């Protein structure tokens, strides 16, 4: 079997060529006795992704917009938040992360954002983009598997913050 391809990791594009035979790898990986699956998993990225959805209701004013813009007036949304996690490995229980441990996100949203005026909760304009970044930066230190936060203000609009 012959596998060719490329991957991008930290702004570096790498090209690879792996040739296998019936007796094993006839490449530099033969010495390490790595399986093709492990090689591709290691070099080509993440195997497992999970997400959990939360919701809250809040008001805001986007004061930086022109006066005639509808979002410059006080208004509210029923927000939908989705946190996205990824990992190449599973824990001892077979999870990327136990969904129950994400209750800290629920608790923070309930105590800090739900039924609040977001201008009073954030130090920047409370746009969907800034809310997504705000939540990502708040939870990344305690949830290292977190790779993106999605915020929807309406059923038709979504912002995804993925640094």
Query: What would the DSSP string read from start to end of the chain?
Result: -EEEEEEEETTEEEEEEEEEETTEE-SGGGGGT--HHHHHHHHH--SEEEEEEEEEEEEE--TTS-TTSGGGS-EEEEEEEEEEEEESS--TTS-SS-GGGGHHHHHHIIIIITTEEGGGT-SS---HHHHHHHHHHHHTTT-TTEEEEEEEEETTEEEEE--
In this prediction, residue 47 carries a pLDDT of 82
Q: Which of 75, 79, 65, 153 is nearest to 117 (CA)?
A: 75
115 is catalytic: yes
Catalytic entry in 60, 145, 150, 153: 153
Q: For residue 96, give both structure tokens.
A: 């990327």
Structural domain count of the chain: 2
Same domain, 54 and 26: no
Same domain, 54 and 35: no
Same domain, 99 and 147: yes
- Note down the domain range covering 10: 2-44
Catalytic entry in 30, 44, 71, 159: 71
In this prediction, residue 13 carries a pLDDT of 52
Same domain, 38 and 52: no
Same domain, 127 and 148: yes
Q: For residue 39, give both structure tokens.
A: 């090689």
Same domain, 9 and 80: no
In this prediction, residue 92 carries a pLDDT of 92
Same domain, 83 and 134: yes
* pTM of the full structure: 0.74
145 is catalytic: no
Same domain, 77 and 9: no
Same domain, 62 and 106: yes
Same domain, 62 and 36: no
Catalytic entry in 115, 137, 142, 162: 115
In this prediction, residue 106 carries a pLDDT of 98
71 is catalytic: yes
Same domain, 35 and 81: no
CB-based contacts of 66: which residues, under 8 Å, 6+ apart? 72
Query: What would the DSSP string read from start to end of 59-94?
Result: EE--TTS-TTSGGGS-EEEEEEEEEEEEESS--TTS
Q: Which residues of the chain have pLDDT under 70?
A: 1-46
Same domain, 6 and 53: no
In this prediction, residue 29 carries a pLDDT of 47
Q: What is the CATH number of the domain that holds 150?
A: 3.30.479.10
């Amino acid at each position: 079997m012959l596998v060719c391809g490329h991957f991008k990791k930290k702004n570096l594009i790498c090209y690879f060529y792996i040739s296998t035979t019936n007796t094993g790898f006839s490449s530099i990986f033969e010495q390490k006795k790595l399986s093709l699956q492990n090689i591709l998993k290691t070099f080509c990225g993440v195997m497992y992704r999970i997400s959990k959805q939360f919701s809250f209701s809040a008001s805001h004013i986007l004061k930086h917009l022109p006066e005639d813009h509808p979002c410059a007036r006080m208004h509210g949304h029923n927000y939908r938040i989705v946190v996205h996690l990824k990992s190449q490995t599973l824990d001892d229980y077979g999870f990327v992360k136990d969904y129950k441990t994400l209750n800290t996100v629920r608790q923070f949203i309930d105590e800090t954002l739900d039924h609040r005026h977001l201008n009073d909760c954030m130090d920047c304009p409370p746009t969907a983009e800034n809310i997504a970044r705000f939540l990502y930066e708040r939870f990344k230190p305690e949830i290292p598997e977190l790779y993106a936060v999605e915020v929807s203000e309406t059923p038709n609009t979504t912002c995804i913050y993925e640094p």
